């Protein structure tokens, strides 16, 4: 292949993150590579006793405008962009005294970190790198001759390449570096444009970009024939992406998806208001409960649907303790995620080698704005994360009968859960625990019936005289378009209903509730989850 091997004689290093800089530069200098640098990077190299030439020495221009202008110069870009086998390019280099730059090592101003830290507008602007991306793009374009390194983790890879090839790099190696470089500048621009759109109030920009950092390749996606990888986006929200895994095999695609669903749900329950537990299967809850202790919350959640709980995901809103851990290990569970876990609980789990335990250090803020993406043929659907919530004062009682205190407490719990159940969603709750969940049906009536049937089946398993839906409340994620779903809930023993309202037939549904002696409240907000 033409121009496969290229010698490395001259390098330009200009980095914000100086991790590993001195080690890299020392080894480059030791093999005879001339070092060029800028500002703080040059100082760091000089302080380490390394020979280094300031870029200003080759441009004959000082760094100016608070460092905004230092590398934007033909002496730099000519050295990066010149085709070493093009006679016209070589003649221009000779005429203007432009020297080759064979290696560019640049990592960019910490813009993403500035945004994550909540910096003000001007601080974020000053952390937008200009010269760095320009040099990176130039070097990457000329990868036939030039190597470009943008990530600290590639320093050792570069040194290994040089050692194996006697101070040279291969074309395949340079191509890989170039791809990574363009991905980095693309991600950087995506971060800047996304932040700026929010900063100036543009909610539907003409162009939209997303970016992520590769974390790991999955064995496969939802199914074995689907390739999959996991990327992080730098969001500091506590969750599956930031959690520490203490034991068990690597998480699969489905594990991550379901664990995220579980943790987002349990985050609806403020730990200050007591322990809560959610058990998830295929991204839908099969049991959720609040109780005086975490062990009791787990048992109540488990009793909602013991069959579906097998092989599920468990999320807790408080620290996992040994008593709860001892309950959990009685059946097969894929993943447990909690803000923290005691050493005693970890010891209980240690005997279950395939059980993954994740601690996230806290709960995600369910009210924090964000966006979710869905690919469709020919494009993307982008929407705000469903961070909608209600306060008891937001509710409007529309029936003659008012819900009592226990009903109101259960209605609010049911509504929190409905937000995280696939539509059409129906949730029965009694005494702080789900007793029947119907999810993902094409008809709301069918969801209501399925939830009631599951409750009946669990009553038989638990040896109860009647299903726990007797005396329960019910939540519907969207309005009842007809009274049939509501009446089905009443037939199952529900005494109170929470729903958005807003149907053309609201009056008919309200009358049906009154006739059945139900209390019903409207939220004025819907939680479709398709």
Rounded CA-CA distance 75/388 in Å is 55
Which residues lie closer than 8 Å to 235 by C-beta, 6 or more apart?
241, 370
Domain with CATH 3.40.50.1380 in the chain: 6-199
Classify burial at 481, counting beta carbons within 10 Å of its beta carbon; exposed 0-12, middle 13-18, buried 19 or more.
middle
Contact (Cβ atoms closer than 8 angstroms) between residue 479 and residue 502: yes
**Tokens found for residue 378:** 């020919």
Comparing CA positions, the residue from 186, 129, 210, 206 lying closest to residue 374 is 210
Q: CA-CA distance, 24 to 107, in Å (whole number)?
A: 14
Active site residues: 141, 282
Kindly report the number of other CB atoms within 10 A of residue 201's CB atom: 6
- Is the domain covering 390-522 a CATH 3.40.140.20 domain? yes
In tens digits, the chain (530 residues) has pLDDT values of: 456 899 999 999 999 999 999 999 999 999 999 999 988 899 999 999 999 998 877 877 666 666 666 666 777 888 898 888 888 888 887 888 888 999 999 999 999 999 988 899 999 999 999 989 999 999 999 999 999 999 999 999 999 999 999 999 999 999 999 999 999 999 999 999 999 999 999 989 999 988 888 999 999 999 999 999 999 887 878 999 899 999 999 999 999 999 999 999 999 999 999 999 999 999 999 999 999 999 999 999 999 999 999 999 999 999 999 999 999 999 999 999 999 999 999 999 999 988 999 999 999 999 988 888 888 999 989 898 999 888 888 899 999 999 999 999 999 999 999 999 998 999 999 999 999 999 988 888 899 999 999 999 999 998 998 899 999 999 999 888 888 888 888 898 999 999 999 889 999 999 999 999 999 999 999 999 88
Residue 25 contacts by C-beta under 8 Å, 6 or more apart in sequence? 13, 35, 45, 48, 50, 52
What stretch of H or E contains 426?
strand 426-430
Q: Tokens 């199914």 correspond to what residue?
A: 223
506-515 vs 483-491: helix axis angle to the nearest 10? 20
14-42 exposure pattern, b = at least 16 Cβ within 10 A, e = fewer: bbbeeeebeebbebbbeeebbbbbbeebb
Alpha-carbon distances, residue 48 vs 18, 105, 275 (angstroms): 13, 18, 54
For domain 243-359, the CATH superfamily is AICAR transformylase, duplication domain (3.40.140.20)
Phi and psi, residue 105, nearest 5°: -120, 110
Separation CA 353–CA 366 (nearest Å): 32
pTM of the full predicted structure? Answer: 0.85
CATH of domain 6-199: 3.40.50.1380
Cis, peptide link before residue 143, omega less than 30° from 0: no
SS (H, E, C) 127-179: CCCCHHHHHHHHHHHCCCCCEEECCHHHHHHHHHHHHHCCCEECHHHHHHHHH
Which residue do the tokens 């506590």 mark?
A: 238
Q: How does pLDDT run across 411-453, given as a tens digit for each residue?
A: 999 999 999 999 899 999 999 999 999 998 888 889 999 999 9
Contacts of 413 (CB under 8 A, 6+ apart): 288, 290, 429, 432
Task: Please name which of 256, 270, 263 lies closest in space to residue 285, comparing C-alpha atoms.
Answer: 263
Span(s) in the chain for CATH 3.40.140.20: 243-359, 390-522
């Amino acid at each position: 292949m033409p121009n496969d091997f290229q010698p490395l004689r001259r390098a330009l290093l200009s980095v914000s993150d100086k991790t590993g800089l001195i080690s890299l530069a020392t080894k480059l200098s030791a093999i005879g590579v001339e070092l060029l640098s800028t500002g703080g990077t040059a100082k760091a190299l000089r302080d380490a006793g390394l020979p280094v030439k300031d870029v200003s020495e080759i441009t004959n221009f000082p760094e100016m405008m608070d460092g905004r202008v230092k590398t934007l110069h033909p002496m730099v870009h000519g050295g990066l962009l010149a085709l070493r086998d093009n006679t016209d390019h070589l003649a221009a280099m000779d005429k203007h005294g432009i020297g080759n730059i064979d290696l560019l090592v640049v990592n960019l101003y910490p813009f993403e970190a500035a945004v994550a830290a909540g910096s003000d507008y001007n601080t974020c602007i000053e952390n937008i790198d200009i010269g760095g991306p320009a040099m990176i793009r130039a070097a990457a374009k000329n990868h036939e001759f030039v190597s470009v390194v943008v990530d600290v983790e590639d320093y050792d890879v570069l040194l290994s390449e040089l050692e194996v090839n006697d101070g040279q790099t291969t074309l395949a190696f340079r191509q890989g570096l170039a791809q990574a470089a363009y991905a980095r500048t693309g991600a950087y621009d995506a971060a800047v444009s996304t932040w700026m759109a929010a900063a100036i109030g543009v909610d539907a920009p003409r162009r939209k970009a997303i970016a992520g950092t590769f974390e790991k390749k999955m064995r496969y996606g939802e199914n074995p024939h689907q390739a999959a990888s996991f990327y992080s986006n730098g969001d500091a929200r506590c969750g599956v992406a930031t959690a520490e895994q203490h034991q068990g095999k690597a998480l699969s695609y489905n594990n991550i998806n379901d664990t995220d669903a579980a943790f987002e749900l349990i985050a609806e329950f403020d730990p200050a208001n007591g322990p809560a537990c959610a058990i998830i299967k295929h991204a839908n809850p099969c049991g959720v409960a609040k109780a005086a202790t975490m062990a009791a919350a787990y048992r109540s959640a488990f009793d909602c649907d013991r069959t579906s709980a097998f092989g599920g995901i468990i999320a807790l809103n408080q620290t996992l303790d040994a008593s709860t851990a001892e309950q959990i290990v009685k059946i097969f569970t894929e993943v447990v995620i909690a803000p923290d876990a005691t050493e005693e609980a970890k010891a209980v789990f240690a005997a279950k080698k395939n059980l993954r335990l994740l601690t996230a250090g806290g709960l995600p803020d369910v009210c924090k704005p964000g966006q979710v993406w869905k690919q469709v043929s020919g494009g993307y659907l982008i929407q705000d994360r469903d961070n909608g919530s209600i306060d008891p004062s937001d509710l409007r009682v529309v029936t003659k009968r008012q819900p009592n205190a226990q009903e109101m407490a259960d209605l609010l719990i049911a509504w929190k859960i409905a937000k995280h159940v696939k539509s059409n969603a129906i949730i029965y709750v009694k005494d702080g625990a789900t007793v029947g969940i119907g999810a993902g049906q094409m008809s709301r009536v069918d969801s209501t019936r399925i939830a009631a049937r599951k409750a009946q089946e669990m009553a038989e398993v638990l040896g109860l005289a009647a299903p726990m839906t007797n005396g329960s409340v019910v939540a519907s994620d969207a309005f009842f378009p007809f009274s049939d779903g509501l009446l089905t809930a009443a037939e199952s023993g529900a005494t109170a209903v929470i729903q958005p309202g807003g149907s053309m037939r609201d009056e008919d549904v309200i009358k049906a509730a009154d006739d059945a002696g139900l209390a019903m409240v409207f939220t004025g907000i819907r939680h479709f989850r398709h």
